[in-house]
Chains A and B, each alone.
Chain A
Amino acid sequence: MDRQARAVHAHPFSILTYLYKFLFLLIFPLLRGFVSALQGGLIRWVQGAWLDLLMVALILFLSYQKWNRFRYYFDISGLYYTQGIFLKEQIWIPNSKISTLSVLHPFWLRPFRIAQLRVDTVARDPKKADLTFYLRFDRAAQILALRKRAVPEDTENGYEYRPGLQNVIFLSLFTSNSFIGILIASTFISQAGQILGQELSDLLLWTFESMAYRLANDLPYLTAGLIAFHLPPIAAGIALALVGGWLVAFTMSLLQTHGLCTRRTEELLHLQGGVLTKKFYQLRIKEISFIDIRQSLLTRLFRLYSVFIDGIGFGKEQSDIAAVIPFSTRTHTMDQLGRLLPEFQPSPRSLKPNAGAVFKFLIEPLWPCVLLPLAAFLGIRYLPAWAAILQFAGLMLSIPAYWFLGVRLMDFFSSGVSKSGNFFTLRYSNGYYLHTVVIPADKIALVNIRQSILQRGDNRCDLVVSTRAEGRRKHHIRNIDWDATARLFDTLDCWTPKDAGIPNWYERLFTRLKSYLPFFSK
């Protein structure tokens, strides 16, 4: 009752954000316009315009009501809020259940001193925050301070780590994705066209097109190994889009992580950073699902390491900061990790793939490495008119294939599992990245140990560990010893297969098969 009385409204800016929830109501004016157009009457449409205005008014009214019905109260024990126009809800989230509390200051809201607050717990949809609303800067700061006080064991001071600019640049350099950049750039071009006029959009596209032609014409013959070819304009366009996309993604990533600062106190990990949107996160140490020391083939060669963390409510959106320690040398990374998260220390691997497993690691990337150059060669031979494009496409597609082969080879030499105290260390590769993941035992959701017919001969298995993280995260380690894995994860002590028979002729068949085929005995 007391909390209900003390609950306050969110910032009125929220009304604007609620508008989109009721935009579906615009379907009625749209349908009316469609029917009017079919019946061919402009006057008829104008006569019914009051209905459209009514619908717009209804949308505004509902948005206002949604804001009006939403009230929150935050104190040292937790967050209380009420919401709902038709279905009314009163929700109480104890502070101990809040995994991550984030305050974001987007640059477009900074002049109005409006911040966005995000509350996340282990429950509800892993793809979006449990609660998001807008409030004044001072209120957001108040809530962050209350949250800090709510953890009594927490100390005010702790270890603080501010990575150098070159580390953040390295992070953006190695983690930027061209395709995300292309997506952002294309959205920008189309939106620019809508807002500032189609001419601008056309001008940007024309500039891109002419640049691709100039690149194709000005470049001399390219040589790759024994082959030499002239770059066709379409290939130049693709290359230009990829490079441009990467540059956009790099800039965005740099703006998101610039000014990164991580502070460890007794119970919490505080993170802040970002230029366009300033972000402040508070994450409970015990809510961290795992840490991921991530390397690409290139950073492995340069011996650079970066540490990412995964926890409930953390790294949920594309723009979120996920790296705690950006790319640094091994000594520096391990030193900082030891100070920030001493609990999460990787242990030396105790289970690893046997030497004969190299083929299992290489078989997947080997196919494209052989087939792509072969297809390009055959294409050039039988379709000479397409030779230039096929040469370029064959070369460009072979690069990621051989890159993947390199990653898998590295994976073979480094993958494995180990356990130290209550923490498991899993080393494996996923796509183009090599991961060293440290997971507390209580954050493991499911252990799946699987053995194919081919693995039965030397009693090997694949291990897939699912973790309690944002969304569903799986960690796949290939070809390790079956018995040792089952022992490591405490799954062995009940395996007695002899009583598993079916009392009919199948049992006799299985018994006979067992005598002929030894791998059937498992």
Chain B
Amino acid sequence: MTLQKPDLRILTVWRIRLLITAVAPSAVTAYFSINRTWAWWLFSASWIVAFLYFYIGYYPIKYRKLSYSINQTCLVIHCGVIYTRIKAMPLCSIQYVSVASTPLQQLFGLCSLVVYAAGSILRLPGLTLRDGILLQGTLTPSEEPNG
């Protein structure tokens, strides 16, 4: 299997999630905007900087570096933002695979693949539901019942 990229819509999902998270600090900023003290400026500037960092920096880089593949021995995920990472889970260690999706992911027809091994968990976000189920089947082939 050649290197695969997750669906680009996951970037939108992450950004919407970020926007939802930003509602609370923006409400605090708006509520206290009548009396602007140094604490107000510090608080507002902090969350706006953090928001911009994630919106235009962190998430695009995260998406850019995220890719996955299956070779003969393992499931390989390339990821990381500050660190560049290769995560490899041997196929023989995989116990079971779950396809999970949040309501926001469902809206975009996406899901995350959660791979469970004895002693470790690997998460792969941003797959289309079809790809997720396909990958689940590939990683955990069903066994023929005995007898």
The answer to whether B5 touches A450 (Cβ under 8 A) is no
User: With the chains together, A453 CA to B61 CA distance in Å?
Assistant: 14
The answer to whether residues A494 and B119 also contact, given A442-B93, A502-B11 and a CB cut-off of 8 A, is: no
Q: How many A-B residue pairs have CB under 8 A?
A: 107
Give the contacts of A480-510 with B (CB-CB under 8 A).
486, 489-491, 493-497, 499-502, 506, 510
**B contact residues around A300 at 8 Å (CB):** none
Q: Which of B71, B83, B85 meets A490, CB within 8 Å?
A: B71
In the complex, per-residue mask of A363-400: 1 if CB is within 8 Å of any chain B CB, else 0: 00000000000000000000000000000000000000
**Interface-centre pick from B5, B88, B119 (highest chain A CB count, 10 A):** B119
* Shortest Cβ distance from B66 into A: residue: A500
The answer to whether B89 touches A446 (Cβ under 8 A) is yes
The answer to whether B86 touches A486 (Cβ under 8 A) is yes
The answer to whether B90 touches A444 (Cβ under 8 A) is yes
The answer to whether A451 touches B119 (Cβ under 8 A) is no
User: With the chains together, A510 CA to B63 CA distance in Å?
Assistant: 13
The answer to whether A490 touches B73 (Cβ under 8 A) is yes
**B contact residues around A486 at 8 Å (CB):** 86
- Tell me the minimal C-beta distance from A44 to chain B in angstroms: 51
In the complex, per-residue mask of B72-86: 1 if CB is within 8 Å of any chain A CB, else 0: 111010101011111
Interface membership of A278, Cβ < 8 A: no
The answer to whether residues A453 and B82 also contact, given A446-B122, A491-B76 and a CB cut-off of 8 A, is: yes
- Tell me the minimal C-beta distance from B147 to chain A in angstroms: 14
- Tell me the minimal C-beta distance from A359 to chain B in angstroms: 18
Interface membership of B3, Cβ < 8 A: yes
- Tell me the minimal C-beta distance from A155 to chain B in angstroms: 28
The answer to whether A510 touches B64 (Cβ under 8 A) is yes
User: With the chains together, A448 CA to B71 CA distance in Å?
Assistant: 16
Q: Which of B63, B78, B117 meets A445, CB within 8 Å?
A: B117
**B contact residues around A322 at 8 Å (CB):** none
The answer to whether A472 touches B90 (Cβ under 8 A) is no
Q: Which of A126, A448, A499 meets B5, CB within 8 Å?
A: A499
**A contact residues around B27 at 8 Å (CB):** none
* Shortest Cβ distance from B121 into A: residue: A446
The answer to whether B85 touches A494 (Cβ under 8 A) is no
Interface membership of B34, Cβ < 8 A: no
* Shortest Cβ distance from B70 into A: residue: A494
User: With the chains together, A489 CA to B8 CA distance in Å?
Assistant: 29
**A contact residues around B109 at 8 Å (CB):** none
Interface membership of A7, Cβ < 8 A: no
**B contact residues around A442 at 8 Å (CB):** 90, 92-93
- Tell me the minimal C-beta distance from A351 to chain B in angstroms: 15
User: With the chains together, A127 CA to B87 CA distance in Å?
Assistant: 26
Q: Which of B1, B84, B89 meets A522, CB within 8 Å?
A: B84
In the complex, per-residue mask of B93-109: 1 if CB is within 8 Å of any chain A CB, else 0: 10000000000000000
Interface membership of B69, Cβ < 8 A: yes
User: With the chains together, A506 CA to B84 CA distance in Å?
Assistant: 18
Interface membership of B35, Cβ < 8 A: no
Does more than half of chain B's interface fall in helix, strand or loop, or is it mixed? mixed
The answer to whether A490 touches B72 (Cβ under 8 A) is yes
Interface membership of B118, Cβ < 8 A: yes
The answer to whether residues A494 and B71 also contact, given A499-B5, A502-B63 and a CB cut-off of 8 A, is: yes
**B contact residues around A443 at 8 Å (CB):** 93
Interface membership of B2, Cβ < 8 A: yes
- Tell me the minimal C-beta distance from B136 to chain A in angstroms: 18
Interface membership of B29, Cβ < 8 A: no
Interface membership of A55, Cβ < 8 A: no
Interface membership of A447, Cβ < 8 A: yes
Interface membership of A93, Cβ < 8 A: no
The answer to whether B84 touches A491 (Cβ under 8 A) is no
The answer to whether residues A491 and B74 also contact, given A447-B88, A467-B119, A502-B11 and a CB cut-off of 8 A, is: yes
**A contact residues around B92 at 8 Å (CB):** 442
User: With the chains together, A343 CA to B41 CA distance in Å?
Assistant: 65
The answer to whether A491 touches B119 (Cβ under 8 A) is no
**A contact residues around B67 at 8 Å (CB):** 497, 500
**A contact residues around B84 at 8 Å (CB):** 450-451, 456, 522
* Shortest Cβ distance from B85 into A: residue: A450
Interface membership of B15, Cβ < 8 A: no
- Tell me the minimal C-beta distance from B129 to chain A in angstroms: 22
**B contact residues around A473 at 8 Å (CB):** 119
**A contact residues around B122 at 8 Å (CB):** 446
The answer to whether B74 touches A494 (Cβ under 8 A) is no
- Tell me the minimal C-beta distance from A315 to chain B in angstroms: 15
7 contacts between A and B (CB under 8 A): A444-B90, A446-B93, A446-B122, A450-B83, A490-B74, A491-B86, A494-B71
Spell out B's residues near A (CB within 8 Å): 1-3, 5, 8, 11, 60, 63-65, 67, 69, 71-74, 76, 78, 80, 82-90, 92-93, 117-120, 122
Q: Which 9 A-B pairs have the closest CB atoms?
A: A494-B69, A445-B120, A446-B120, A445-B119, A447-B88, A449-B86, A468-B118, A445-B117, A491-B88
